[in-house]
Chain A
Amino acid sequence: MNRFDYVRADTVADAIKALGGDPNARFIAGGTNLVDLMKYNVEKPGRLVDITRLPLKSIEEHAGGLRIGALVSNADLAYDERIQARYPLLASAILAGASAQLRNAASTGGNLNQRTRCYYFYDEGTPCNKREPGSGCPAIGGVNRIHAILGASESCIATNPSDMCVALAALEATVQVSGPEGDRAIAFADYHRLPGDDPSKDNTIKPGEIVVSVDLPPTDYGQHHTYLKLRDRLSYAFALVSVAAALELDGQTVKTARLALGGVAHKPWRNLEAEALLQGKSATRESFKAAADLVLREAKPQSENGFKIELARRAIVRGLEQAAAGTPQSQSDKRIQ
């Protein structure tokens, strides 16, 4: 790990000031991703601003929904009674990710800002356009079993590793940020970005800005939802494909559908056309297959991950079936019903 200066802030304003627009300074909260990246020399900050003392640790009622402070740990969020009762999709997605130890340490804001687990990004001995812009992407044509099938570019095929963010995308959360130029709200769909020709940027937060909260809207999809995560081992592994599905039903007719995919793109993947297609349709396997086909119409395999397209197709159908039946995937009993 490189040497760095350490600053501990006690207010949001102090933290922003301490970062001071220095491109080589980083906020640190749980540290579960940043410290790991520092050990691999992927991150070499000159200064760390410890934000764990900021007053951003509560979950509060807000505009009919809930406002989650950026420093609420992943575990506290998943086990919060209000989250479990009103946003069970979010609780389930969080518990599908990482380990108990990591969820105890990792923060809400940090989960949003975690970096890809692409092997090449982590290996400073190889080129990577995300780590070192312009150096190339050896994942293309290389070892790319875990990589993107949607929205990738010629410069980057990395995926966003978060489970929590897939649920937040489906729930249409809003990210509140604060920075030297004031506060602003970012719709969740606009928070993460596609790689395009600048994969060094994972999201649309500006230098010097800090995530202060994630707001959940009133609509909660408490009845018909699931988070279905498929991976190489049953626990403690990143998703090859995951599906957050949420439905509002009128009898057997779909009133509203929300569908977000993890493990397939540089950001949690939504296809509004596919969600619209389901509206007014009966909640049957045929309808769900049509939606899955639409989501995957533009899917493009890499040399080793073609299986992900069919896996995603089946996961979407099964996820929507689980949601329609009101039988969400258990995150401890791993059998898929």
Chain B
Amino acid sequence: MLIESGSVGAHAKIGITLTINGERREIEVAPWTTLLDLLRERLDLTGTKKGCDHGQCGACTVLVDGTRINSCLALAVMKDGAEITTVEGLAGLAQKHGTNTLHPLQEAFIEHDAFQCGYCTPGQLCSSVGLLNEGHARSREEIREAMSGNLCRCGAYTNIVDAIEEVMHQGAAR
């Protein structure tokens, strides 16, 4: 067995290591803490938003080892050893590639007016970066389908697709 949280009933906290936005963190977590709650409540990374808390809205989307997931449905303890990127780390990702201070997708979202209230935007951005990393979407229809896990109640969908399409055609930046 790799890890055991102690005897039944003890519910001990477990030490895990996460690299969050490039910074290595050693953290003790209770097994029932979701990755979303860990980021927001313990690490003050409140850019990642809690919308439905049930994997239906996509506001909590983050990148785990470059792959987009709903952080509300992930137990932090299970991500031990992973590299996490939240919206706060997207600019850093871009800088690694020697581009502007914002990630190209962040620039494109501003350029295309791809949000109104902004609540879904961190999830939309992380999801878009994940989409480009995956490399499966090529057409507008495919972008729309691949972004269907991110709801926007302001209805900025058309502009979000415009923003992603533009960056996709420029060549994906991780």
Contact = CB atoms under 8 A, between A and B. Distances in A.
B148 A99 contact: yes
Given A47-B8, A100-B149, A7 B3 contact: yes
B58 interface: yes
Interface string B132-153: 0010100101101111111000
B58 A99 contact: yes
Q: Which residue among A2, A6, A8, A32 has the maximum number of chain B CB atoms within 10 Å of its CB?
A: A6
B31 interface: yes
A36 B57 CA distance: 13
A3 B11 contact: yes
Contacts, number: 118
A284 interface: no
B70 A32 contact: yes
Interface residues of B, number: 45
Interface in A195-247: 235-236
A39 interface: yes
Contacts of A184: none
B1 to A, nearest CB: 6
B78 A7 contact: no
Chain A, interface residues (CB within 8 Å), range: 35 or more
B144 A332 contact: yes
Given A28-B78, A100-B134, A4 B31 contact: yes
Contacts of A28: 75, 78
Contact of A105 (B4, B31, B74, B146): B74
Contacts of A98: 149
Interface in B101-154: 127, 130-131, 134, 136, 139, 141-142, 144-150
Interface of B: 1-11, 14, 30-32, 34, 53-55, 58, 61, 67-70, 73-75, 77-78, 127, 130-131, 134, 136, 139, 141-142, 144-150
7 contacts: A8-B3, A10-B1, A100-B127, A101-B61, A105-B73, A235-B145, A331-B145
Interface of A: 1-10, 14, 18, 28, 31-32, 35-36, 38-39, 46-48, 50, 52-53, 75, 79, 98-102, 104-105, 235-236, 331-334
